[in-house]
Amino acid sequence: LGEARAGLLVGLSVGILVAVTVTFWTQLERGILALAILVKATPMIAVAPLLIIWFGFGPLPKVIMTALITFFPVLVNVASGLRAVDSALLDLFHSLNASRWELFRYARWPAAWSYLFAALKVVAPLALVGAVVAEWTGASSGLGRIMWLAYTNLNMPSLFAAIFCLASMGIALYTVTVAGERWVLFWRRNPEDVGGSRGN
């Protein structure tokens, strides 16, 4: 789980950074998105053995695998969110001679938060898949290794137990993400829900 969280953090950070880059410098968008699509189109199960060969059996291949899986959805969603600013609001900022940084800070970045959490709800469970795939292909320990040994030995109870643990962790990550979204984006709550909770 530690490698999955680290890989998710790396994929999230790089995805946001690249999304901001292509928003500020649109001339770089075509080349960067082409590389991102190439990464997305590459079967990760084929990349995992290469990562094991290059970086050994430690945690680094799991982190890289998880980052590769989570990077693209974050990039696409955040880039869309940064551009999903109401045209009237953009005109207002331009009329006030706002700088690109002020436009980003007060208009584009707040608009991107809901898109970011939409991506997180998808990639948080996927982070576990990335780590397990890396473990499955050659790690010396971890849930993926347990699943591989159970599979080769036809140990169905152990295999189903590992699958149940993986599913439980995925549900937990999704639940935490939803809770974080409600806490951060509190202004998007339904006013009737807020009023109802106060009345109760």
pLDDT value of position 97: 79
**10 Å Cβ neighbour count for 152?**
8
pLDDT value of position 43: 79
Q: Are 162 and 143 in contact (CB under 8 A)?
A: yes
The 8-class DSSP code of residue 121 comes to H
In tens digits, the chain (200 residues) has pLDDT values of 677 888 889 989 999 999 988 888 877 777 888 888 887 787 777 787 788 788 877 778 888 888 888 888 899 899 888 888 877 887 788 788 777 888 888 888 888 888 899 898 888 888 888 778 777 766 666 777 788 788 788 888 888 888 888 888 888 888 888 888 888 777 665 544 444 444 44
In whole angstroms, what is the distance from residue 61 CA to residue 39 CA? 16
Helix, strand or coil for residue 149?
A: helix
In whole angstroms, what is the distance from residue 152 CA to residue 96 CA? 66
Q: Are 163 and 147 in contact (CB under 8 A)?
A: yes
Q: Where are the alpha helices (DSSP H) in 137-155?
A: 143-152
In whole angstroms, what is the distance from residue 40 CA to residue 25 CA? 22
User: Residue 16 corresponds to which tokens in the numbers above?
Assistant: 């946001």
Among the listed residues 166, 157, 160, the one whose alpha carbon sits nearest the alpha carbon of residue 135: 166
Give Cα 66 distance to the centre of its chain.
9
| Residue-range domain boundaries for the chain | 2-199
Overall fold of domain 2-199: MetI-like fold (1.10.3720)
Task: Say if residue 110 is exposed, middle or buried (CB neighbours under 10 Å; 0-12, 13-18, 19+).
Answer: middle
Q: Are 4 and 131 in contact (CB under 8 A)?
A: yes
pLDDT value of position 199: 45
